[in-house]
A and B are shown apart, each in its own frame.
Chain A
Amino acid sequence: MSRTLRWFAVIGVALVVFGPLGLILYQSFLNEPFFSQSARFSLDAYRYILSDSGFHSAFGTSLVVSFGMTLISVPLGSLLAFLLVRTDLPGKKWLEPWILVPIFLSPVVLAFGYVVAVGPVGFFSLWTKALIGRVPWSLYSLFGMVLIAGLTHVPHTFLYVSSALRSLDPSVEEAARVAGAGPWRIAVTVSLPLVLPSILFSAALIFLLGFELFGLPLVLGDPAGLLVLTTYLYKLTNLLGIPSYHLIAVVALSIVALTFPLVYLQRRMLRTAGRFAVIGGKGQAFRPLPLGALRWPAVAVVVLWLAVTVLLPLVGVALRSLVSSWGEGIKLSEVLTLDHFRELSGYPNLVRGIINTFLIGGVGGALSVIFYAVVALAAHRWQSRWVTFLDYLVMVPRALPGLVVGLAFLWVFLFFKPIAPLRTTLFSLWIAYTVVWLAYGLRLISASLFQVKPELEEAARVTGATQGLVFRDVTLPLIRFGLIGSWLLIFMMYVREYSTGVYLLGPGTEVIGSLIVSLWGTGALDLIAALSVVEVALVGIVLFIALRLGVRLDA
């Protein structure tokens, strides 16, 4: 029984990972879409793309954005991690859950929020103009995009650095204190250097995520004419009037060619980071470092970051959803309305989108967790070369942006005729989501499995239970709570997901995220605002439940 399970896991994962990737590779070597009768093997697509100046500039912009956001989010995230984990920062218990909130917000919603909050005619822009006569910032610029990308990725650094700091033996900091170092000096000379592997790891991660950005550059870069690789890929669809799948495939592969080495690098780094973790002390209670006079400036930094990264865009979205129109000279109190939410019900595709979003998060999320659990259990305490293979396999999707995975699955459903009818059902979306979040989901499940001490399973083996029964009677019940937590986290990720569904969007497969992307092209700001509020509310409710249940957001 457990044997079948293990082979099911290995073969299943290999299929869903290599199938789509193989199809992209195949398509990139054709001169026309794969379903065309006259498609031939050719390198034309490569020639076209590699000599296209638009591709070159998109590549350059992507590089700048990746670098820039890494430079912003790594120092800031490390600082926040130190403040919240190691010091007596006032109100840190209350602040901590908020730090991770940007992870659960859709970038496209955040970007839209910035547009309506601090864009040329945003709420805060116009209020500022009324006060001082001009708007002292410009959202639609490379700098604006990099700044927002950097700020919204602070939680990713925070996640890794804070968990490394938690396992750091406090006595190394106490020694520095005794020697006379202040909190700032301790952070810069002791704590952060000791968790350097985690800091570098998060830097590699953010650099990687920079190439996969889609929502932010789509919304913020477009008005300034800035294209990055993903938006360039997205625009290619409409560029030539005919489906230019071969060109899209080449661009998709070029992104993968950039991200794959980064994923591999991260994996190597993780191994060395593990070796560093030896410094970890026992989980004894320790006295946090007193910040002294730096207390309030430190709180100000955290609160300011939260205000700009979470509050500003969300307030923008919320306000925009409640006004009938907005521009210079309009008084807020005169335009308040709930009409936009009523309007939503007039569009069957939007109503379906909301229902589908809930279904894909709730039902799809649960099915994905089951799939991840099967894969994780298959690898659990299995001493075989296949586990290493599986390990490498699940890291492949991390190099694939959601946009590319969604596209690849669209092609899979077009290519393999027997499964073609599934394309217009939520199943196509579910399997693409499951692949996109494979690494994340597996990490959640493995974190729970890691808590199960081997003796608990061995005791059942010795008592006479087969491997399968050990899973059923001991391992699964023990990670039950972890599975529920994983489900809630996956629910939020699926609800906020937007790029994976872009290419799969059609009647029956609408979800809020991809609807917002397609509505953005039509300029229907009222509907986008209302949909965004619905999405944020859905995530907010589940986030609240998760926090009440004590689910760790930083798994």
Chain B
Amino acid sequence: MPDLVADNIEKQLGTAQVLCGVSFQLQQREILALLGPSGSGKTTLLRSVAGLERPDAGKIELRGKIVFDADSGFEIPAEQRGLGLVFQSYAIWPHRSVFENVAYGLRLRRARETDIQKRVGEVLERLGLGHLGDRYAHQLSGGQQQRVALARAMVYNPPVLLLDEPLSNLDAKLREDARAWLREIIKQTETSALYVTHDQTEALAIADRILVLDRGRIQQEGPPEQIYAHPASRFAAEFMGSSNRLDGTLAEVVGNRARLTGEGWSLWGELRAEKKAQDAATGLVRVERLRLTDNAGTNHLKMKLRSALYLGERWEYVFYLAGLRIRVWGEERLAEGEYWVSFPETSLWIF
């Protein structure tokens, strides 16, 4: 039995249709990422699960128990759903110490004082906050606050942990550390988690499965590798990773192969949309798939180097060919001039 089932959730905020019939299931001990740009409805979806928003239509089940059903108007209030929620802003109560922030949920559940001491102590210890119990929010760093928010949400073992962009308020460096650490902690507690983020790297790293949302609809659903390697739509392809975009016209279509042409170039790629010859189309190719080669060949283009940026672990070159602008990654500094760029046919997706 899945921990969480959302069925055909719709929600309108003002005049905007934020969610247009979203359904998904969260399996036991699974981390599911809701990934999408801002305005995609991912936070509204999470808040609907928490009971902080009331959807206009749909049904939500927690461990087989209905907590919301628009048809019958049935709704269990947020406080009775027993979930844990980590807010983007952490929302640590500034008038309570770290210990009291974390203990609050247990006190509401009328746990015995000795139990509270023990369990809060354990959670704080596990999250590396053992010595900070007496501190207040303003005495903590961003990373510590984030961990207090997590401790508060999981101390009473909620069936599902909800996380709303929990890392977005951290520094870039801290965020990378927290990513691995967060996944480890969630996995240890053996709880399932719904994780909202707009950062694709974060979603890929943390989630077991990703739900790509755009304008209130699910665009694609699957494990990270599949989402990244086999995007189902142009939106998913462009949203994930770092891509080059080639706008042109289809010169010929042979099965699922097609030849895309533009001013002074012509390339073969995989056709991933219902298109026929002479249609306008867009080719997408991930930056890391492109290579520089020494010679001409099929799907090789001779391009002029415009600039080279040193990014530390690699170089990023920008090539031009008429109206085409292509980014390529490489290992070394390049002298000015013209180079052959190879576009592997299976990596050039045409939508």
**Contact among A456, A459, A467, A474 for B85, CB-based, below 8 A:** A459
Q: Are B91 and A456 in contact (CB under 8 A)?
A: yes
Q: Are A461 and B104 in contact (CB under 8 A)?
A: no
**B25-33, B75-83, B203-211, B234-242 - the one binding chain A:** B75-83
| B50-95 CB contacts (< 8 Å) to partner A | 50-52, 77-85, 87, 89, 91, 93-95
In the assembled complex, how far is the CB of residue B165 from the closest CB belonging to chain A, in whole angstroms?
12
In the bound assembly, the distance between CA atoms of A478 and B95 in angstroms comes to 7
In the bound assembly, the distance between CA atoms of A480 and B94 in angstroms comes to 12
Chain B residue contacts of A473, Cβ below 8 A = 104
**Contact among B79, B95, B153 for A461, CB-based, below 8 A:** B79
Check B327 for interface membership: any CB of A closer than 8 A.
no
**Contact among A453, A462, A466, A480 for B50, CB-based, below 8 A:** A462
Q: Are B105 and A463 in contact (CB under 8 A)?
A: yes
Q: Are A463 and B104 in contact (CB under 8 A)?
A: yes
In the bound assembly, the distance between CA atoms of A250 and B66 in angstroms comes to 61
In the bound assembly, the distance between CA atoms of A456 and B87 in angstroms comes to 9
Q: Are B108 and A459 in contact (CB under 8 A)?
A: no
Check A465 for interface membership: any CB of B closer than 8 A.
yes
Q: Are A464 and B91 in contact (CB under 8 A)?
A: no
Contact with B along A473-485 (1 / 0, CB 8 A): 1100110100000
In the assembled complex, how far is the CB of residue B62 from the closest CB belonging to chain A, in whole angstroms?
13
A460, A461, A463, A474: which has the most chain B beta carbons within 10 Å?
Answer: A463
Chain A residue contacts of B80, Cβ below 8 A = 464
Q: Are B83 and A462 in contact (CB under 8 A)?
A: yes
Check B152 for interface membership: any CB of A closer than 8 A.
yes
How many residues on A have C-beta within 8 angstroms of the other chain's C-beta atoms?
19
Residue of A nearest to B82 (CB): A464
Check A455 for interface membership: any CB of B closer than 8 A.
yes
Q: Are A459 and B93 in contact (CB under 8 A)?
A: yes
In the bound assembly, the distance between CA atoms of A456 and B94 in angstroms comes to 9
In the bound assembly, the distance between CA atoms of A499 and B72 in angstroms comes to 56
Check A96 for interface membership: any CB of B closer than 8 A.
no
In the bound assembly, the distance between CA atoms of A377 and B95 in angstroms comes to 19
Check B109 for interface membership: any CB of A closer than 8 A.
yes
Q: Are B52 and A458 in contact (CB under 8 A)?
A: yes
Known: A464-B79, A465-B108. A456 touches B84 (CB 8 A): no
Chain A residue contacts of B162, Cβ below 8 A = 462
Known: A464-B108, A464-B109, A469-B108. A459 touches B78 (CB 8 A): no
Chain B residue contacts of A459, Cβ below 8 A = 85, 87, 91, 93, 152
Known: A463-B152, A464-B108. A456 touches B93 (CB 8 A): yes
**29 A–B pairs (Cβ distance < 8 Å), ordered by A:** A455-B87, A455-B91, A456-B91, A456-B93, A458-B52, A458-B87, A459-B85, A459-B91, A459-B152, A460-B79, A460-B93, A460-B104, A461-B51, A461-B78, A462-B52, A462-B79, A462-B84, A462-B85, A462-B162, A463-B84, A463-B105, A463-B108, A464-B109, A464-B156, A465-B79, A465-B104, A466-B77, A473-B104, A478-B94
With A463-B152, A464-B108 given, name 13 new contacts (CB 8 A).
Answer: A455-B89, A456-B94, A458-B50, A458-B87, A459-B87, A459-B93, A462-B84, A463-B104, A464-B109, A464-B156, A465-B79, A469-B79, A478-B93
**Contact among B52, B94, B105 for A464, CB-based, below 8 A:** B105
Chain A residue contacts of B83, Cβ below 8 A = 462
Contact with B along A435-467 (1 / 0, CB 8 A): 000000000000000000101101111111111
Contact with A along B97-136 (1 / 0, CB 8 A): 0000000110011000000000000000000000000000
Chain A residue contacts of B79, Cβ below 8 A = 460-467, 469
Q: Are B95 and A477 in contact (CB under 8 A)?
A: yes
Chain A residue contacts of B77, Cβ below 8 A = 461, 466
In the bound assembly, the distance between CA atoms of A474 and B83 in angstroms comes to 19
| B119-170 CB contacts (< 8 Å) to partner A | 152-153, 156, 162
In the bound assembly, the distance between CA atoms of A66 and B241 in angstroms comes to 67
Question: Interface size for chain B: under 10, 10 to 19, 20 to 34, or 35 or more residues?
Answer: 20 to 34
Residue of A nearest to B52 (CB): A458
Chain B residue contacts of A463, Cβ below 8 A = 79, 84, 104-105, 108, 152-153, 156
Chain B residue contacts of A478, Cβ below 8 A = 93-95
In the bound assembly, the distance between CA atoms of A478 and B50 in angstroms comes to 23
In the bound assembly, the distance between CA atoms of A453 and B87 in angstroms comes to 12
Residue of B nearest to A473 (CB): B104
In the bound assembly, the distance between CA atoms of A456 and B137 in angstroms comes to 12
Q: Are A453 and B91 in contact (CB under 8 A)?
A: yes
Chain A residue contacts of B89, Cβ below 8 A = 453, 455
Known: A464-B108, A473-B104. A458 touches B91 (CB 8 A): yes
Q: Are B104 and A458 in contact (CB under 8 A)?
A: no
B51, B83, B84, B93: which has the most chain A beta carbons within 10 Å?
Answer: B93
Q: Are A458 and B94 in contact (CB under 8 A)?
A: no
Chain B residue contacts of A477, Cβ below 8 A = 95
In the assembled complex, how far is the CB of residue B286 from the closest CB belonging to chain A, in whole angstroms?
37
In the bound assembly, the distance between CA atoms of A478 and B93 in angstroms comes to 8
Chain A residue contacts of B50, Cβ below 8 A = 458, 462
A458, A460, A462, A480: which has the most chain B beta carbons within 10 Å?
Answer: A462
4 tightest A-B CB contacts, nearest first: A455-B91, A463-B105, A461-B78, A462-B85
In the bound assembly, the distance between CA atoms of A241 and B156 in angstroms comes to 75
Q: Are A461 and B52 in contact (CB under 8 A)?
A: yes
Chain A residue contacts of B105, Cβ below 8 A = 463-464
Q: Are A458 and B95 in contact (CB under 8 A)?
A: no
In the bound assembly, the distance between CA atoms of A465 and B110 in angstroms comes to 12
In the bound assembly, the distance between CA atoms of A469 and B104 in angstroms comes to 11
In the assembled complex, how far is the CB of residue A245 from the closest CB belonging to chain B, in whole angstroms?
51
In the assembled complex, how far is the CB of residue A187 from the closest CB belonging to chain B, in whole angstroms?
37
In the bound assembly, the distance between CA atoms of A469 and B107 in angstroms comes to 12
In the bound assembly, the distance between CA atoms of A16 and B337 in angstroms comes to 85
Residue of B nearest to A469 (CB): B108
In the assembled complex, how far is the CB of residue A91 from the closest CB belonging to chain B, in whole angstroms?
32
In the bound assembly, the distance between CA atoms of A460 and B153 in angstroms comes to 10
Residue of A nearest to B100 (CB): A473
Residue of B nearest to A458 (CB): B52
Residue of B nearest to A474 (CB): B93
In the bound assembly, the distance between CA atoms of A478 and B108 in angstroms comes to 19
In the assembled complex, how far is the CB of residue A26 from the closest CB belonging to chain B, in whole angstroms?
43
Chain A residue contacts of B91, Cβ below 8 A = 453, 455-456, 458-459
Residue of A nearest to B95 (CB): A477
| A202-259 CB contacts (< 8 Å) to partner B | none
In the bound assembly, the distance between CA atoms of A459 and B164 in angstroms comes to 12
Chain A residue contacts of B87, Cβ below 8 A = 455, 458-459
Residue of A nearest to B87 (CB): A455
In the bound assembly, the distance between CA atoms of A463 and B108 in angstroms comes to 8
In the assembled complex, how far is the CB of residue B166 from the closest CB belonging to chain A, in whole angstroms?
13
Chain A residue contacts of B52, Cβ below 8 A = 458, 461-462
Residue of B nearest to A470 (CB): B79
Q: Are A458 and B108 in contact (CB under 8 A)?
A: no
In the bound assembly, the distance between CA atoms of A460 and B149 in angstroms comes to 12
In the assembled complex, how far is the CB of residue B119 from the closest CB belonging to chain A, in whole angstroms?
14
In the bound assembly, the distance between CA atoms of A478 and B89 in angstroms comes to 17
Residue of A nearest to B47 (CB): A458
Residue of B nearest to A464 (CB): B108
Chain B residue contacts of A480, Cβ below 8 A = 95
In the bound assembly, the distance between CA atoms of A469 and B87 in angstroms comes to 20
| B148-202 CB contacts (< 8 Å) to partner A | 152-153, 156, 162
B52, B78, B156: which has the most chain A beta carbons within 10 Å?
Answer: B78
In the bound assembly, the distance between CA atoms of A464 and B77 in angstroms comes to 9
